[in-house]
């Protein structure tokens, strides 16, 4: 009983303060605005890199189409990525100094191209002040889906699971800039999985969005 | 808003409607290409060229000593002899982009040359342009005004008027330029654009003295599609409004049409929309007033005007949109409006809280007015010089003729300081002449400003006193409500259904940080604490 009283005694200043605050400054203020940028049919043209493999680096180009059901949910119906691969100095050294065969298994994980589809969830939409003179609108999203990857080997089609996140900077009603960081977990064998991360910067064209 | 304040607001709006920026051809800093005086080394001297300045009168012959006249107590200094080539060299310096080197010699040449010299007006013109290029716009304007008054050279006159018209976009000497030049010009010979501006100014002068018929004669000569014609319509409507007992539908419709007039500047269109809103408010057409407020378009990220928000807040309050009105009052607390003189803001906030039965905040909002304006109220009660009260002075300087006078005074002070930089390059004579010119102009500007300020602070003090009086009543009323006994069976009024966000809307919770793009979007969620008594 004494502890309960003591507890209430300790609690009371906080309660009084909260009530006084509510009495003095009642109400909550929000800025309610029409959402300025809305997406509908999105065509993406992107360039990026496959940076992770030690034996090659891929320079990629991507084309994709996304249908936006609403402001938070979309389906990237299709995306196709082609990779132009550059051999690293490590691989050249292995081939030159250690006579490693160009067809060695380790070198066959090169991605030639890949196609896939993802679901996109955009929970974050906000704005930033640039130099206190311009307001920039941004959106952050998560995406996940499946990919078919063509590796540099005979019959090299492999399935993959793609997950990633991205950010979009709106520059206008019909144009936005998009940064995607994704990872494809490619199932190259029954027990072997390789990770193919992709960093991609793209320009997204938006068609058919209503005001 | 009272009818008196409405008329005052519209009148000041009519005066505020400033002309659109003049065509680039005569903007200060731009170099005229042709015709320029002959005998100059200018690369772009035109075909129509006055003679070279090679024959100034012998100045010595004009001096009192030479003519045998008795010496006066303070005889004017005899003009020094100036080589006629000075004019050419000065022009070359001007066209080489060195107005600083051109101004002194041009002035010296003007002092020595007779007014009948063919190039005299050109000398004045290029001296004016040099001074304007150097940021001494008032000095430049005074030379351009001289050309306009003397009219000695028909080739120079249109250029001088164009340059003067361009100067009217910034704070300027209204008497010297608007009244004595454009308000008194013989309009037959002017180019269309400048002529339209002059007709507009002369019409305004006539309107101010109550000659609407004469004003119409001038306004009728304005090209239908010109911006001046639209501005003239605005001025006429404001005048008619002043004369009318009750604003008619026709006047409101005319203002509405003006608010859509593409030829007008955005500011002028907004003024017309505000006029519509105020007139509809006076007629208790609050919905119509809100529609008119929505017509006011601000540039992106422009905070807008405090009076606009306050008026909209009153309108929403009258419509029963208490939460929206409270949201707009949040806007008025933004740093952009912190120095605004808005005693009504506290009164309206107190009224809204009272209507929602939040009596403590209502009392606090009411007290805030007397707390914030305590010094000014004290000054009024003590019958002190109100022009010395910082808040009232700032409020008076914030609009209307007082604002224009204050801005012109600022310009003169700024240019007076700037003049000091050119003391070395101008030479003693031009420097002392300009110093005297600026001193005299400043003294006159101070006189005009003080006269307008005295009247304006009185009006602001009236506004403050009225608000303070209402706030005292409010405090009393709220005090009674606070201690009112709640009857048995009374219960809190059911909360209003909260308006859900539509899918196209986003909400940013306000945490004290103001974003300019949100200033018109604040909404307050607050429950009513009122109780309803069951019978």
Q: Which residues pair with A120 in a beta bridge?
A: A74, A143
Please give the residue of chain B at the shortest CA–CA distance from A210.
B504
Mean pLDDT in chain B? 82
Answer for the pair B202, B182: CB distance below 8 angstroms, yes or no: yes
State the pLDDT at residue B9: 53
What's the pLDDT tens digit per position in B307-343?
Answer: 889 999 999 999 999 999 999 999 999 998 988 899 9
Residue indicated by tokens 């082609």? A82
Q: Could you tell me which of B400, B345, B407, B393 has the C-alpha nearest to residue B372? A: B345
State the pLDDT at residue B35: 45
What's the pLDDT tens digit per position in B360-382?
Answer: 899 889 999 999 999 999 999 99
What's the pLDDT tens digit per position in B341-354?
Answer: 999 999 999 999 99
What would you measure as the largest C-alpha separation in chain A, in angstroms?
84
What's the pLDDT tens digit per position in B398-417?
Answer: 888 999 999 999 999 999 99
A 1-40 near B (Cβ less than 8 A)? 23-35, 38
Q: Is residue A132 within 8 angstroms of chain B, CB to CB?
A: no
Q: Which chain A residues have a beta carbon less than 8 Å from that of B325?
A: none
What's the pLDDT tens digit per position in B109-148?
Answer: 998 888 888 889 999 999 999 999 999 999 999 999 999 9
Residue B483 pLDDT level (bands cut at 50, 70, 90): confident
Shortest CB distance from A32 goes to which of B330, B501, B515?
Answer: B501
Shortest CB distance from B510 goes to which of A26, A30, A135?
Answer: A30
Phi (first) and psi of residue B126, to 5 degrees: -75, -30
State the pLDDT at residue B80: 59
B 297-316 near A (Cβ less than 8 A)? 301
Q: Which chain B residues have a beta carbon less than 8 Å from that of A33?
A: 505-508, 517-518, 521
Determine the average pLDDT of the residues in A155-169.
Answer: 94
Q: In the Cβ-directed half-sphere of A208, how many Cα atoms lie within 13 Å?
A: 9
Cα distance from B145 to chain A (closest Cα, Å)?
40
Q: Which of A25-34, B65-74, B208-217, B441-450 has the lowest mean pLDDT?
A: B65-74
Residue B53 pLDDT level (bands cut at 50, 70, 90): very low
Please give the residue of chain A at the shortest CA–CA distance from B505.
A34
State the pLDDT at residue B127: 95
User: With 0-12 CB in 10 A as exposed, 13-18 as middle and 19+ as buried, what is B131?
Assistant: buried
Cβ distance of A133 and B353 shorter than 8 Å: no
What's the pLDDT tens digit per position in B156-199?
Answer: 988 999 899 889 889 999 999 988 888 887 766 777 778 888 88
Structure token digits, residue B34: 């042709």
Q: What percent of chain A has pLDDT over 70?
A: 93
Q: Is residue B353 within 8 angstroms of chain A, CB to CB?
A: yes
What's the pLDDT tens digit per position in B183-194?
Answer: 887 766 777 778
What's the pLDDT tens digit per position in B491-500?
Answer: 777 766 666 6
State the pLDDT at residue A18: 64
Please give the residue of chain B at the shortest CA–CA distance from A24.
B361
What's the pLDDT tens digit per position in B283-307?
Answer: 999 999 999 999 888 888 888 889 8
State the pLDDT at residue B432: 93
Which residues does B288 contact at the CB level (< 8 Å), separation at least 6? B276, B280
State the pLDDT at residue A133: 86
Shortest CB distance from B508 goes to which of A23, A24, A31?
Answer: A31
State the pLDDT at residue B302: 87
Q: Is residue B30 within 8 angstroms of chain A, CB to CB?
A: no
């Amino acid at each position: 009983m004494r502890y309960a009283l003591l507890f209430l005694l300790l609690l009371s200043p906080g309660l009084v303060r909260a009530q006084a605050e509510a009495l003095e400054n009642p109400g909550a203020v929000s800025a309610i605005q029409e959402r300025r940028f809305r997406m509908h049919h999105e065509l993406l043209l992107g360039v990026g890199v496959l940076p992770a493999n030690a034996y090659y680096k891929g320079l990629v180009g991507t084309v994709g189409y996304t249908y936006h059901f609403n402001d938070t949910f979309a389906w990237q119906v299709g995306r196709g990525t082609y990779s132009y691969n550059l051999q690293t100095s490590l691989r050249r050294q292995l081939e030159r100094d250690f006579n490693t065969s160009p067809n060695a298994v380790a070198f066959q994980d090169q991605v030639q191209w890949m196609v896939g589809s993802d679901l996109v969830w955009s929970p974050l939409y906000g704005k930033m002040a640039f130099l206190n003179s311009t307001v920039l609108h941004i959106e952050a999203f998560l995406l996940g889906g499946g990919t078919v990857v063509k590796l540099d080997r005979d019959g090299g089609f492999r399935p993959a699971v793609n997950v990633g996140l991205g950010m979009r900077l709106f520059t206008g009603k019909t144009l936005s800039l998009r940064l995607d960081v994704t990872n494809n977990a490619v199932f190259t064998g029954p027990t072997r999985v390789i990770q193919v991360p992709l960093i991609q910067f793209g320009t997204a064209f938006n068609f058919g969005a209503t005001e | 808003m009272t009818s008196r304040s409405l008329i005052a607001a519209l009148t000041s709006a009519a005066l505020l409607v400033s002309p659109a920026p003049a065509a680039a051809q005569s903007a200060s800093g731009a170099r005229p290409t042709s015709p320029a005086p002959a005998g100059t080394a200018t690369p772009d001297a035109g075909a129509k060229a006055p003679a070279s300045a090679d024959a100034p009168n012998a100045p010595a012959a004009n001096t009192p000593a030479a003519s045998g006249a008795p010496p006066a107590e303070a005889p004017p200094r005899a003009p020094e002899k100036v080589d006629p080539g000075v004019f050419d060299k000065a022009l070359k310096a001007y066209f080489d982009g060195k107005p600083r080197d051109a101004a002194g010699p041009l002035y010296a040449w003007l002092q020595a040359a007779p007014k009948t010299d063919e190039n005299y007006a050109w000398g004045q013109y290029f001296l004016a342009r040099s001074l304007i290029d150097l940021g001494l716009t008032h000095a430049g304007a005074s030379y351009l005004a001289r050309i306009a008054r003397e009219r000695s050279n028909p080739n120079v006159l249109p250029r001088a008027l164009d340059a003067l018209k361009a100067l009217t976009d910034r704070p300027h000497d209204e008497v010297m330029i608007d009244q004595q030049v454009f308000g008194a010009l013989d309009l037959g010979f002017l180019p269309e654009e400048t002529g339209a501006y002059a007709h507009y100014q002369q019409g305004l002068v006539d309107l101010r003295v109550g000659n609407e018929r004469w004003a119409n004669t001038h306004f009728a000569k304005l090209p239908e599609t010109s911006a001046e014609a639209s501005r003239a319509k605005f001025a006429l409507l404001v005048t008619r409004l002043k004369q009318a007992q009750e604003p008619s539908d026709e006047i409101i419709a005319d203002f509405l049409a003006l608010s859509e007039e593409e030829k007008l500047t955005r500011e002028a269109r907004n003024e017309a929309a505000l006029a519509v809103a105020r007139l509809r408010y006076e007629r208790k057409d609050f919905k119509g007033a809100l529609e008119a407020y929505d017509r006011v378009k601000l540039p992106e990220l422009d905070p807008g005007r405090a009076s606009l928000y306050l008026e909209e807040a009153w309108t929403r309050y009258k419509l029963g949109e208490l939460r929206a009105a409270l949201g707009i009052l949040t806007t008025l607390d933004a740093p952009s409006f912190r120095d605004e003189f808005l005693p009504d803001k506290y009164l309206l906030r107190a009224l809204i809280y009272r209507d929602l039965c939040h009596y403590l905040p209502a009392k606090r909002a009411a007290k805030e007015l007397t707390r914030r304006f305590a010094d000014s109220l004290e000054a009024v009660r003590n019958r002190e010089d109100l022009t010395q009260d910082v808040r009232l002075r700032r409020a008076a300087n914030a609009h209307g003729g007082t604002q224009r006078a204050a801005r012109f005074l600022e310009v003169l002070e700024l240019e007076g300081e700037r003049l000091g930089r050119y003391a070395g390059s101008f030479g003693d004579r031009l420097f002392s002449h300009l110093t005297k010119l600026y001193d005299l102009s400043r003294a006159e500007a101070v006189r005009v400003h003080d006269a307008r300020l005295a009247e304006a602070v009185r009006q602001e003090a009236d506004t403050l006193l009225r608000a303070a009086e209402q706030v005292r009543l409010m405090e009393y009323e709220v005090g009674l409500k606070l201690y009112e006994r709640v009857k048995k069976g009374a219960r809190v009024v059911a909360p209003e259904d909260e308006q859900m966000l539509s899918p196209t809307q986003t909400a940013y919770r306000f945490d004290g940080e103001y974003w300019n793009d949100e200033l018109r979007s604040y909404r307050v969620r607050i429950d009513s604490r009122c109780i309803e008594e069951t019978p």
